[in-house]
Structure 1
Amino acid sequence: MKRIKITPAWYFSDEAGNQLDPQLFVLLEGVHLHGKLTEAAKMAGISYRHAWNLLGKWQEFFGIGLVELQRGRGARLAPLGEKLLWAEQRVIARLGPQLESLGSELNLEIQQTLEGVRPVLRMHASHGYAVELLPQYLDGLHLDLQYCSPREALVALNRGACDLAGFHLPQGPVGQRLVADYRPLLKPRSHRVLRFITRRQGLMIAAGNPCAIQGLKDLTLGETRFINRQLASGTRALLDGLLQAEGLSSRRIRGYEIEEYTHSAVAAYVAAGMADAGFGVEAAARRFGLDFLPLADEDYLLLCHHRSLSEPRLLRFREMIAGQAFQEAVLKLPGYSLDRCGEVEDTEALVTV
């Protein structure tokens, strides 16, 4: 299947028109991951000589080294190399979900022109790594996936703008309080819940935990720098609920007012050394080489209309998420587990979350 993939791109340029080669970012990431220029060159799909010349060219461009090579000790990123790599990671992490949503819209329009009208499943959902996997496994069915906040997804379902709404509820008392907030948007007679996955949330902490963070209380002490999620996100609601449960004031957290818009963006912010800790899913922490302190498990759920459950597109969707291929992919995500994936429940079951 031909698909549009939109990726963010940025570059430095000078008066002579020289522009930063995107391949440099892959090379820098390889050095960061492997600590060897030979392995970084393999990762970038170029020869060692080409890698050496590429580094030389851009080190000359900036007038400062990007990689430090030490005889018998491999390679490591110099301070500017680290800044360039984490800038690239932050751009991708922050803009990725919005570009995926736009790509979904464009792919739908183009594919329907190329192939004629085919079944379309419209899904509005809070962003997550398991949700990202869905388009890869829905053969024969177009998924129009739009990322938004949990409340926006539920509102979209109620106004008929989507067929599935993805949202997440923490297990335990915090989840019960959030259900009360969502209750006006849940219609027990017409809505049904599709079980999906469970994921682990907690503190994403700079590698090695230099600030010795052991819990949320430590964020309110001293000079620990924090990076938050945006106000409308379900993850922010979970954090606020946990702070309330421990009797902690958000006003005492340095950086609480600074926001990012995805789990990956929070993790990239911490990995870049701009904060000591953030809050999000374990999968994001592991992807960026951070320490992780688990604080809550939450159920990621999908809401649909009862009448749509018998439609072929929903039947195909349920078959896919209950299938071995998709479930094996989910289980490879750190902190993710399966929870009766694809089973149907009444909305009343949410009060026990």
Structure 2
Amino acid sequence: MTYKFQIGLRPQWTLASEGDADPVPLQDMLALLAAIDASGNIAGACRACGLSYRHAWGVLRRFEGIFGTALLITNRRQGTQLSPFAQRLLWANRRIEARLMPTLESMASELQEELARLLPESGPHLRLHASHGFAVESLMQRMGGGAGLELRYRTAIEALASLERGECDLAGFQVPLGEFEEPIMARYAQWLHADDYLLIHLAVRNTGLFVVAGNPKHIHGIADLARGDVRFVNRQIGSSTRYLIGLMLQRANVSIGDVQGYESNEFTHMAIAAHIASGMADTGVGVETAARRFGLDFIPLVRERYFFAIRRSALETPAMRELLAIMRGPDYLGYVGQLAGYDTRDTGRLQTLDEAFS
């Protein structure tokens, strides 16, 4: 299906001040603060945002008046820096984007497919249910102009159950290499039938602990989560990463009751990274790419293989052939291959369950 349009959803903060009839959107101000934080000066931020110097100062002064506090700290030797208030505001925006974007992308994909089916030139499409990840996100972007790919972000268990019920065409799931492979596969076993399904290898990725740059708490492994001075942020209930964390804690003889923050919930690797980078936790578990994007240090724990499960009968459909061609193409392989911690040597490879887990 060739799309003539692309639907997207984005979160937006608004600010209502006393005496104002309408809330004021914070989007331009937050973009400007992010550019100042990245460039270290207002002139560079103006170029990045396409704003005049005068207009940029107007935006800043307006919101400083509304908030009643400074947003910038100017020092001749150190350049322009965000005030603690502005830093907290910017980190709140980064956390909410990391937390909400998968949900919004899934909703936008659903609406796009509903509308596309009403068009006269509507063609075949695929339904993908998978946990949020960088390789999945990139695949979605590259299929936007070709065969339709309708995306729902789900946990691995939810995705595999959807495939069993016929509610999707591809179900994404990850399996760690090594000692945790067997218990994870046992968790998936009731939905993975060797006679009915094939696997498409997506990538191998590094999963480990995120810590603040420089590792000031000297966190070195899972056993450190039991320390009283370590605040942990966990993935959501039902996710494979949360289940893996439980297995690793069990191996390390650490009770979940001793882990400060074990009952917390975040839904993506980027949300875990943003949570830690903003100072709300000391460590969490996710893929290496997310840690690097937020300037965090990374302590590797396991290597994971990520697969799409498909029905054997779906392999020769035009949409599935196009998806495999994109996955095996140089553009997609080049992008995923440069992601920190990702290995694409087997990307696009078809395997039986016996071949993958002999």
Query: TM-score scaled to structure 2, two decimals?
Result: 0.95
Q: How does 1:152-167 map to 2 (within 5 A)?
A: 152-167=158-173
Q: CA deviation at 1:332?
A: 2.4
- The gaps in structure 2 that reach 5 residues or longer are none
Alignment partner, residue 54 of structure 1? 59
Please give the alpha-carbon distance, in whole angstroms, between the structure 1 residues aligned to 2:149 and 2:340. 25
How far did residue 129 of structure 1 move?
0.9
Deviations 1:166-193 (A, max 9, x none): 0101111112210011111111111111
Instruction: Give, as a single letter, the amino acid of the residue that structure 2 aligns with 1:319.
Output: A
> How many angstroms apart in 1 are the aligned matches of 2:111 and 2:28?
27
Structure 2 Cα separation of the partners of residues 36 and 331 of structure 1: 33
Q: Which AA in structure 2 matches 1:312? A: P
- Where in structure 2 are the equivalents of 1:1-353 lying within 5 Å? 1-17=4-20, 19-138=24-143, 139-352=145-358
Whole-Å separation in 1 of the counterparts to 2:225 and 2:44: 38
1:145-183, Cα deviation, whole Å (9 max, x unpaired): 111000010001111101110010111111221001111
CA offsets per residue over residues 287-308 of structure 1, 9 Å max, x none? 1121111111100101001111
The amino acid of 1:206's aligned partner reads V
Counterpart Cα distance in 2 of 1:324 and 1:232: 35
Cα 1:261–1:249, aligned 2, differ >3 Å: closer, same or farther?
same
Measured in 2, the distance between the counterparts of 1:35 and 1:209 equals 24
- What SS does the aligned partner of 2:118 have? helix
CA contact (8 A) 1:123 1:145 kept: yes
What letter corresponds to residue 56 of structure 1 in structure 2?
A: R
Contact 1:209–1:291, Cα closer than 8 Å, also in 2: yes
Q: Is the 8 A contact 1:20 1:58 kept in 2?
A: no
Quickly say closer, same or farther: Cα 1:221–1:48, change in 2 above 3 A: same
Q: CA deviation at 1:115?
A: 4.8
Secondary structure, counterpart of 1:166 in structure 2: strand
CA contact (8 A) 1:26 1:43 kept: no
Can you list the C-alpha shifts for 1:25-64, whole angstroms capped at 9, x where unaligned? 1111112222222222222221222222221111111111
Measure the CA separation in 2 of the matches of 1:317 and 1:292.
Answer: 32
**C-alpha distance in 2 between matches for 1:215 and 1:190:** 39
Q: Aligned partners of 1:161, 1:21: CA distance in 2, in Å?
A: 39
- Higher mean alpha-carbon deviation, 86-95 vs 12-21, is at 12-21
Residue 100 (structure 1) shift: 0.7
Q: Distance in 2 between matches of 1:46 and 1:65?
A: 20
Q: Is the 8 A contact 1:124 1:165 kept in 2?
A: yes
Equivalent residues of 1:196, 1:339 under 8 A apart: no
Q: Once the 2 structures are TM-superposed, how far is the Cα of residue 311 of structure 1 from its aligned partner?
A: 1.3
SS of 2:117 mapped into structure 1: helix
The count of residues paired between Structure 1 and Structure 2 equals 352
Contact 2:13 2:26 in 1 (8 A): no
- Structure 1 residue ranges (4+ consecutive) displaced by more than 4 angstroms after TM superposition: none
TM-score when normalising by structure 1: 0.96
